[in-house]
Chain A
Amino acid sequence: MSEVEYMIKMQGVNKWYGDFHVLKDVNLNIKKGEKLVICGPSGSGKSTTIRCMNHLEHFQEGNIHINGTDLIDDVKIVRHIRSQIGMVFQHFNLFPHLSILENLILAPTWVYKKPRKEAIATAMHYLERVQIADQAHKYPNQLSGGQQQRVAIARCLCKNPEIMLFDEPTSALDPEMVSEVLDVMVGLADEGITMVCVTHEMGFAKKVADRVIFMDGGQIVEENEPHEFFDNPQSPRLKHFLEQILDH
Chain B
Amino acid sequence: MAIFELKEAREAPADTKGPIHWAKEKLFSSIGNTILTLLGFYLVYMTLPPLLDWMIFDATWSGTKAEITKDGARWIFIIEKFDQFMYGFYPESEHWRLLSVLGLFPISIVLFKYVLTNSKAKLALLIAFPVVSFILISGGFFGLMHVETHNWGGLMLTIVVASVGIIASFPIGIMLALGRQSKMPLIRTLCIGFIEFIRGVPLITLLFMASVVLPMFFHEGIEFDKLLRALIGITLFQSAYIAEVIRGGLQAIPRGQYEAADALGLTYWQAMFLIILPQALKISIPNIVGSFISLFKDTTLILIIGLFDILAMVTLTNSDTQWLGFEVEGYVFVTIIYWAICFSMSQYSKSIERRFNTENK
B is bound to A:
yes
Residues of A participating in the B interface, judged by any CB pair closer than 8 Å? 54, 56, 79, 82-83, 85-87, 89, 91, 93-97, 106-107, 110-111, 139, 141-142, 155, 159
* Given A96-B360, A97-B279: A106 touches B264 (CB 8 Å cut-off): yes
Interface contact A93-B259, CB-CB below 8 Å: yes
Residues of B within 8 A of A107 (CB): 264-266
Segment at the interface with A among B111-119, B221-229, B267-275, B316-324: B267-275
A106-B274, A141-B361 are known contacts. Are A95 and B266 too (CB-CB below 8 A)? no
Which residues of A have CB within 8 Å of B46? none
A82/B263 in contact, CB under 8 A:
yes
Q: How far is the CB of B323 from chain A (nearest CB, A)?
A: 55
B260 on the A face (CB < 8 A): yes
Known pairs A91-B256, A93-B254 / 8 extra A-B pairs, C-beta < 8 Å: A56-B262, A56-B263, A83-B265, A89-B256, A95-B257, A97-B360, A139-B359, A159-B265
Please indicate the chain A residues that have their CB under 8 angstroms from the CB of B265 in the complex.
79, 82-83, 107, 111, 159
What is the interface size of chain B, counting residues whose CB is below 8 A from a CB of the partner? 21
Q: State in angstroms the CA–CA spacing of A142 and B360 once bound together.
A: 8
Q: Does B81 contact A (CB under 8 A)?
A: no
Interface residues in B233-266 (C-beta closer than 8 Å to A) = 254, 256-257, 259-266
B266-297 interface with A by 8 A CB criterion? 266-267, 270, 274-275, 278-279, 282
Whether B260 pairs with A97 at a CB distance below 8 angstroms is no
* B260 cross-chain contacts in A, Cβ below 8 A: 87, 89, 93-95
Verify A159–B264 contact, CB threshold 8 A.
yes
Q: B360 contacts A141, CB within 8 Å?
A: yes
Of the listed residues B254, B263, B278, B282, the one surrounded by the most CB atoms of chain A closer than 10 A to its CB is: B263
- Taking CB atoms, residues of chain B closer than 8 Å to A94 are 260
Residue contacts A-B, CB under 8 angstroms, 13 given: A56-B262, A79-B265, A82-B262, A83-B265, A93-B254, A93-B256, A95-B275, A107-B264, A107-B266, A110-B274, A139-B359, A139-B360, A159-B265
Q: Chain B: which residue is nearest A89 at the CB level?
A: B256
Q: For the complex, would chain A's binding face be called helix, strand, loop or mixed by DSSP majority? A: loop
Contacts of B261 in A (CB 8 A): 95
How many angstroms from the CA of A139 to the CA of B278 in the assembled complex? Answer: 15
Give Cα A96–Cα B259 distance, bound, in whole angstroms. 14
Inside 8 A of B263's CB, which chain A residues have their CB? 54, 56, 82, 85-87, 89
Closest-by-CB residue of B relative to A95 is B275
Q: How far does the Cβ of B96 sit from chain A's closest Cβ, in whole Å?
A: 43
Q: Kindly list chain A residues whose C-beta atoms are within 8 Å of the C-beta of B275.
A: 95
Which of A87, A93, A139 neighbours the largest number of chain B CB atoms within 10 Å of its CB?
A93
Assess the A111–B262 pair: CB atoms within 8 A.
no
State the CA gap A93–B253 with chains docked (Å).
11
Return the chain B residue nearest A55 by Cβ.
Answer: B262
CB distance from A173 to the nearest CB of B (A): 15
Q: Which residues of B contact A93 (CB under 8 A)?
A: 254, 256-257, 259-260
User: How far apart are the CA atoms of A111 and B261 in the complex, in Å?
Assistant: 11
Using known A-B contacts A93-B256, A139-B360, determine if residue A111 contacts B279 with beta carbons closer than 8 Å: no
